[in-house]
Amino acid sequence: MNLRAKRKKDECWALLYQPGLVIGKIIKALAKSFQAHSKDIFVLDISRLKPSEVRELIFKIRPQVIFTIDNLLNHSFQKELEEVSSELDAWYLCWFIDHPLGFQPEFIPKERSIIFIWDKAYFRLLIEKGFDKVYYLPLAGDERIRSEKKAKKFKVSFLGSLRYYNQLFEELGTSCPKILNFADELFEESINNFSKDRFQLAQKILKKRDLKIYSNLNEHFKEVYKFAVCYFADQKLRKELVCSSPARVAVFGGEEWKVLGDRITYLGKVNYDVRGEIYCASEINLNFHQAQCRTSLNQRVFDVPLAGGFLITDYKLDLNELFDSHPPVCYENFEELRDLIRWWLNNPQKREKEVEKQREEILSRHLFYHRAQQIMNIYKEITKNG
């Protein structure tokens, strides 16, 4: 029986999430922003709930909008989204901040869904899967990261993992060692020009070197195969990043960094909430995007200047679009990075001026408050006639 939910007078949104270092913070920042825009917001941690329990909560709330990031991170409730949204006559809004294919978009209800994507390179992938309401929505900064100015403790620092552990890719690397060879080739192909799309480079390598296997895969597994090659190449590139600095890099992250020994100053893993203090206490903060960021920017680009830190990042096309006049300092290869580090270490006053200008631009246009406003404006425009 198809039960229709009774509408509340005030519009209600349910934000479903599972805790994570980044996603939990983003959901809470968005919730605060939605509330500032007069929404009735329910933030639901569904990580320990069965699908039936999530369903029960949703029907108690009876939202007009169900909002998630990365399609619930594959929580089994996603298989019930279409039925639940239909029964409630609700819209489903999803913001992908990672490669969308990894989060089973086939479970997203197509008739009443709006998809936001942080990287424009994946538009075609989603359109081909039948979605007609797909919008570009870049990441943003969390204004709560802002930190008091402190004495600089570190000349150059990098905060992040050497690798994010992915069991599927690790197993592929063991069962199909050719992937590691392709990753080595991708490393060599990309190391001299980071403006290149490494996903496209991986595809080119696979078509050329592994034609019999790659050409016979369906589109899903072609993406998985490319992603696996990029996964291992990215690890090599991050090692090269911290080793290429003319000043020893203070590295904050998991113990996998210890493999570099005394080539870095390893300072251990830190709580995500203190990242702003590290950014602010570093003369230079390094950034390097994962290959899945094909044109887009990761959150470090916004958070480092907000915290009062100076950033040098690999070049991405969206920098030109999102920053009008004062984008972060960019490098396209490690030789250029070395020169930039030397120059900016010797010019602290100019660093401070650049940080302030970038910070002003982010505060005026690139906070999660602004992204929440964009989400609501698009939703209102689509639903205004019915």
215 vs 48: which has the higher pLDDT = 48
Q: Domain tally for the chain?
A: 2
pLDDT at 220 (0 to 100) = 79
Rg of the chain's alpha carbons, rounded to an integer?
22
Residues 223 and 132 in one domain: no
Shared domain for 32 and 118, answered yes or no, is: yes
Asked if 247 and 100 sit in the same domain, the reply is: no
239 and 271 together in one domain: yes
- Per residue in 268-287, pLDDT (tens digit) is 999 888 899 999 999 999 99
43-60: per-residue pLDDT in tens?
Answer: 999 999 999 999 999 999
Can you tell me the mean pLDDT for 212-222? 80
Residue-level pLDDT at 18: 87
In the predicted structure, residue 386 carries a pLDDT above the cut 70 = no
Instruction: Give the closest residue to 190 by CA, choosing from 156, 233, 160, 149.
Output: 233
Kindly state the helix (H) or strand (E) to which residue 243 belongs, with its residue range.
helix 219-243
- Rounded to whole angstroms, the Cα distance separating 225 from 380 reads 39
Using alpha carbons, select from 240, 338, 321 the residue that is nearest to residue 288.
240
Q: How far apart are CA 130 and CA 146, in angstroms?
A: 41
**Helix spans in 244-367 (H):** 275-280, 300-306, 318-322, 334-345, 348-365
Q: Provide the 3-class DSSP secondary structure of residue 67.
A: strand
Query: Does residue 47 belong to any structural domain of this protein?
Result: yes
Is 193 in contact with 169 (CB distance < 8 Å)?
no
Mean pLDDT taken over the chain: 90
- Same domain? 192 vs 74: no
Q: pLDDT value at position 1? A: 25
- For residue 10, the model assigns a pLDDT of 63
Task: Put the strands of the sheet holding 249-252 in their side by side order.
Answer: 265-266, 249-252, 154-159, 282-287, 311-314, 329-331
Q: Residue 27: inside a domain, yes or no? A: yes
For residue 254, give the CATH number of its domain.
Answer: 3.40.50.2000
**Same domain as 311, residue 199:** yes
- In a shared domain, residues 150 and 171: yes
* 210 or 358, which is more confident: 358
Find out whether 363 and 326 touch, Cβ atoms under 8 Å. Answer: no
For 115-149, the pLDDT digits (tens) are 999 999 999 989 988 999 999 999 999 888 876 77
**In this predicted structure, which of 149-153, 176-180, 267-271, 311-315 has the lowest mean pLDDT?**
149-153
Domain range for 70: 12-140+368-383
Q: Which CATH number goes with the domain that contains 123?
A: 3.40.50.2300
DSSP 37: T
Using 50, 70 and 90 to split pLDDT, how confident is the model at 292? very high
Token representation of residue 292: 């899945």
Whether residue 71 lies inside any domain: the answer is: yes
Let me know if residue 2 belongs to a domain.
Answer: no
Considering the domain architecture, whether residues 272 and 359 belong to the same structural domain is answered as yes
Residue 1 lies in a domain: no
Indicate if 19 and 110 belong to the same structural domain. yes
Cα 236 from chain centroid (whole Å): 20
Same-domain pairing of 293 and 166: yes
Q: CA-CA distance, 275 to 40, in Å (whole number)?
A: 31
User: What's the confidence (pLDDT) of residue 101?
Assistant: 84
Tens-digit pLDDT profile for residues 62-99: 999 999 999 988 899 999 999 999 999 999 999 999 99
Residue 248 has pLDDT above 80, yes or no: yes
- Using alpha carbons only, give the angle 323, 297, 259 rounded to the nearest 5 degrees: 135
Compute how many other C-beta atoms are within 10 angstroms of the C-beta atom of residue 270: 13
Q: How far apart are CA 244 and CA 108, in angstroms?
A: 43
